[in-house]
Amino acid sequence: MLRSFVDANVTDWDLFATNVEFAINDSRSEVTGYTPFELGCGVSPLSQLDLFLEAARSDAGRRQGGVGTAHEFAAKFSSQLRDAKHRLELAQQRQREQFDRRHAQREYAIGDLVWIEAKNLTEKTGTLGAGKGVRGMEGQVDGVFEGTRSVENSR
């Protein structure tokens, strides 16, 4: 949001940074379902536009309804935090499942042919295939090599 705002106001964007910060903090998160204001303070503050619309809709320009009790506020705040935590856990679970579907652990046996990208090799790697050292791989040659031994993944 800030990047798109700065692109449109290259010379004086800093004068409006507070408004952009408010807009970001008052934007509902797709993951949690709440705004940062609601999770941090328990309520979203009224903006000037909210106050204008409320005054325009009311009969005599006075606020409709009142602020709830501290007990109601605390209960709503606690409920929002529990709901946000639940939504974050669901989102993390979906992300984990998506990652696991795309990143299956591959296992190779001795004698399997594997494609090696030399750009990812360092001198610490040792030798490739039939005694070909990494230093001898000028131009970072890629190729198919036969597996000669199994090595634990260091990631």
State the pLDDT at residue 59. Answer: 58
SS3 state of residue 62: coil
- pLDDT of 146 reads 84
Residue 135 pLDDT > 70, yes or no?
no
pLDDT at 130 over 50: no
Per residue in 106-116, pLDDT (tens digit) is 788 888 888 87
Tens digit of each residue's pLDDT (9 = 90 or more) over 8-61 = 667 777 777 787 788 888 888 888 889 999 999 888 888 777 777 776 666 554
Distance CA 140, CA 117 (A): 8
Is residue 5 scored above 80 in pLDDT? Answer: no
Q: What is the DSSP letter of 144?
A: E
Residue 24: the pLDDT is 83
Higher pLDDT, 63 or 20: 20
CA angle (52, 58, 60) in 5-degree steps: 105
CA dihedral 14, 18, 22, 25 (to 10 degrees): 70
pLDDT attached to residue 65: 46
pLDDT at res. 121: 66
CA-CA distance, 93 to 85, in Å (whole number)? 12
| Average pLDDT, rounded, for the chain | 73
Higher-scoring residue by pLDDT: 70, 124: 70
105 pLDDT above the threshold of 70: yes
Look at residue 70 in the predicted model and tell me its pLDDT.
63
Question: Does 26 or 137 have the greater pLDDT score?
Answer: 26
Give the DSSP H/E element, type plus range, for residue 128.
strand 127-128
Distances (CA, A) of 88 to 85, 118, 146, 147, 151: 5, 40, 44, 42, 37
